């Protein structure tokens, strides 16, 4: 009897490998590329597109000429073959990075300022670093100003001391009254700046670097300069505007609402034209405010209005209970904002703030339209219009895209990392 039960297995069949069509590369290809007739057709079309682009681009890259004086020399060297003329990047590299008027003997200054910028930002960006580094972050803006614009270091020192005095005065009096503290610190700082101004004038050559006018800044340096300053200034301003918009005090609320809605309702390029062109009519010719400063103010306002809306979204996302909890344990407005509301709201707002800020960095290329020679302005103006290089488009704009991509991609990667770091609740 038991012999007839041969169909009953006594032991498990050992695991076998799946059929050839259901494993490895074949399976992946079948499931992902040829799962239906439509997908199969799309796959073939995509393959064809990739192939034709590769065939066109690879020789263009490999044949690239890196050493030539003009575009015509490039054509001669290529001798009819398809190939890039990367020589323009070689030849005009300093112009792309620093603009064409920054004195070449002084290139170390913006370079050093950029390196120090990373050092100064590090303690702000990474919480694990020692907190003492923040002192350098506070000094950095003044140091960078001295490095990039030149002049006597006393100008920067005096400005820094003025700010320091203001902070000390504020600390001293803030326990009595907020308004009084602000007023006293403003007066003290201004008094110092007036005194400091005389001291600086007397020792104008002390530790002096060659002065570089704002008009002489250019290239990617200008983009980075405008982007960094505008973003750094606009985040606090934006937070203040967002809080102001939620305020119960009607005047503050309406000022903030009108400001935000006006700026958001106007294109950035219009504001830049106002900064460049219209403002010039209101100043007498010899007292005009520095063009970079005018542009910076407009960009800061623009970015601040957008950040304000992002932060407002973060504030609105918090449940009312958080506000009430803060009130119920007896915190005043400043304390409840500082310890309860803003840490949560800002965490929610990080993706939005980074999004707006990366957009701002890229929008700095708009200044090329008001004839400032940033990276794109350099390419569109002096380089593409020069007798030597007119006609080289892909190489130059490709390089600009690559530079911006590296910077913007790093920033967004950092923000994703930061989000993961701060994600304490939903894990």
Partner 1 sequence: MKTSFILGAVTVAGLTAGAAFAGTLDDVKARGKLNCGVSTGVPGFAEPDANGVWQGFDVAVCRAVAAAVLNDSDAIEFVPTTGKTRFTALASGEIDMLARNTTWTFSRDVDLKFEFVGVNYYDGQGFMAKADLGVSSATELDGATVCIQTGTTTELNLADFFRSNNMSYEAVPVETGSEAVTNYLAGACDVFTTDRSALAARRANFEVPTDHVVLPEIVSKEPLGPLVRHGDNNWGDVVRWTLNALITAEELGVTSANLEEMSKGTNNPEMNRLLGSEGNLGEMLGLDADWAKRAIAVSGNYGEIFENNIGAGTIIGLARGVNAKWTDGGLIYSPPFR
Task: Output 6 or 104, the one with its CB closest to partner 1.
Answer: 104
Interface size with partner 1, residues (CB under 8 A)? 40
Task: Output 158 or 276, the one with its CB closest to partner 1.
Answer: 276
Task: Output 203 or 371, the one with its CB closest to partner 1.
Answer: 371
Can you give the C-alpha Rg of the chain in angstroms?
30
Which residues lie below 8 Å from residue 217, measured CB to CB, with a gap of 6+? 98, 99, 101, 102, 148, 225, 292
267 near partner 1, rule: CB under 8 A: no
Q: CA-CA distance, 309 to 1, in Å (whole number)?
A: 83
265 near partner 1, rule: CB under 8 A: no
Q: Look up residue 427 and give its two tokens.
A: 């894990």
- Residue (of 112, 119, 113, 106) closest to 225 by Cα position: 113
Q: Give the binding range for partner 1 (CB under 8 A) out of 224-232, 256-264, 352-360, 390-398.
A: 390-398
197 near partner 1, rule: CB under 8 A: no
* Binding flags for partner 1, 283-302, as an x/- string (CB under 8 A): xxxx-x--------------
Tell me the CA distances in angstroms from 144 to 129, 293, 380, one per residue in order: 22, 15, 28
Tell me which of 33, 63, 73, 101 binds partner 1, using CB under 8 A: 101
Beta carbons within 10 angstroms of residue 314's beta carbon:
21
Tell me which of 23, 171, 215, 413 binds partner 1, using CB under 8 A: 215
Alpha-helical segments (H) within 153-208? 153-173, 178-202
Tell me which of 155, 185, 234, 276 binds partner 1, using CB under 8 A: 276
Phi, psi of 208 (to 5 degrees): -95, 135
Task: Output 286 or 425, the one with its CB closest to partner 1.
Answer: 286
277 near partner 1, rule: CB under 8 A: yes
What is the secondary structure of 68-106 as a DSSP string? -SSHHHHHHHHTTS----THHHHHHHHHHHH-SSS-GGG
Q: Give the binding range for partner 1 (CB under 8 A) out of 142-150, 252-260, 308-316, 375-383.
A: 375-383
Q: CA-CA distance, 217 to 229, in Å (whole number)?
A: 15
Task: Output 205 or 387, the one with its CB closest to partner 1.
Answer: 387
Residue numbers at the binding site for partner 1 (CB under 8 A) = 71-72, 75, 80, 91-92, 95, 100-101, 215, 273, 276-278, 280-286, 288, 369-371, 373, 377, 380-391, 393
């Amino acid at each position: 009897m038991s012999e007839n039960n041969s169909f009953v297995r006594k032991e498990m069949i050992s695991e076998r490998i799946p059929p050839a069509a259901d494993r490895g590369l074949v399976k992946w290809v079948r499931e992902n590329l040829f799962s239906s007739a439509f997908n199969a057709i799309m796959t073939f079309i995509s393959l064809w597109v990739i192939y034709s682009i590769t065939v066109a681009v690879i020789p263009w890259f490999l044949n690239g000429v890196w050493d030539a004086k003009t575009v015509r020399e490039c054509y001669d060297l290529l001798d009819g073959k398809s190939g890039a003329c990367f020589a323009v990047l070689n030849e005009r590299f300093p112009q792309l990075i620093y603009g064409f008027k920054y004195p070449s003997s002084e290139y170390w200054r913006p370079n050093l300022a950029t390196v120090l910028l990373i050092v100064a930002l590090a303690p702000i960006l990474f919480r694990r670093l020692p907190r003492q580094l923040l002192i350098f972050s506070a000094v950095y803006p003044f140091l960078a100003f001295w490095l990039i614009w030149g002049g006597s270091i006393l100008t920067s020192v005096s400005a820094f001391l003025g700010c320091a005095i203001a902070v000390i005065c504020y600390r001293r009096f803030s326990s009595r009254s907020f308004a009084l503290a602000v007023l006293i610190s403003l007066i003290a700082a201004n008094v110092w700046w007036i005194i400091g101004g005389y001291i600086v004038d007397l020792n104008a050559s002390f530790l002096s670097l060659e002065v570089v006018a704002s008009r002489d800044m250019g290239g990617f340096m200008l983009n980075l300069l405008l982007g960094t300053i505008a973003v750094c200034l606009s985040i606090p301003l934006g937070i203040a505007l967002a809080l102001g918009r939620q305020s119960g005090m009607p005047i503050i609320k309406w000022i903030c609402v009108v400001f935000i809605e006006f700026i958001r309702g106007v294109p950035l390029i219009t504001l830049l034209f106002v900064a460049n062109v219209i403002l010039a009519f209101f100043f007498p010719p010899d007292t005009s405010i520095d063009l970079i400063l005018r542009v910076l103010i407009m960009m800061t306002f623009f970015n601040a209005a957008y950040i304000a809306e992002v932060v407002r979204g973060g504030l609105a996302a918090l449940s009312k209970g958080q506000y009430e909890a803060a009130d119920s344990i007896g915190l005043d407005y400043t304390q409840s904002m500082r310890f309860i509301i803003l840490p949560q709201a800002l965490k929610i707002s990080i993706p939005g703030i980074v999004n707006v800020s990366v957009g701002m960095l890229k929008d700095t290329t708009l200044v090329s339209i008001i004839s400032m020679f940033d990276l794109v302005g350099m390419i569109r103006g002096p380089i593409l219009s020069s007798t030597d290089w007119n006609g080289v488009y892909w190489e130059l704009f490709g390089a600009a895209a690559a530079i911006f991509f590296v910077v913007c991609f790093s920033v967004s990667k950092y923000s994703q990392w930061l989000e993961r770091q701060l994600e304490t609740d939903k894990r």
